[in-house]
Amino acid sequence: MLRPRLGGPLGTYYRVEQPVHVPVSEANCPTLDPANGRYVCFDRFKYKAADPIVSSWTNLAPPVGNRCGQAPGNAALTGDVELLVFEKYSAAKMRLECVDTANRIVYLTGATGASSQFT
């Protein structure tokens, strides 16, 4: 049986609107982007306003102390919402930590493999 997915029974592809940059290096933001002098984060991304991403999905259960500042959900469901990240030559199944709808940022539970491919 297929798992539920966005965009109908077979799903659809959504593109990252832009990477998230921060002023100082963090554990998952180690690479300096010479174009703007800020560090690129590989554990979060900004999504488009028209994408059907919400923070109220029933099985999206942010952990205690999540980066979105949301109340924690059922610990048994933490990381239950997944997405497939298609990168240059690979695809990774990533779990969502939380969704910051005010800033349109999706936080993942870990970094993508893009960190080793960024140039």
What is the spatial distance between Cα 70 and Cα 62, in angstroms, rounded to a whole number? 7
Q: Which of 9 and 36 is assigned the larger pLDDT?
A: 36
**The model's pTM:** 0.85
At 87-97, the pLDDT tens digits run 777 777 889 99
The predicted structure's pLDDT at residue 39: 95
Give the mean model confidence (pLDDT) for residues 12-30.
91
Q: Delimit the domains of the chain by residue range.
A: 18-111
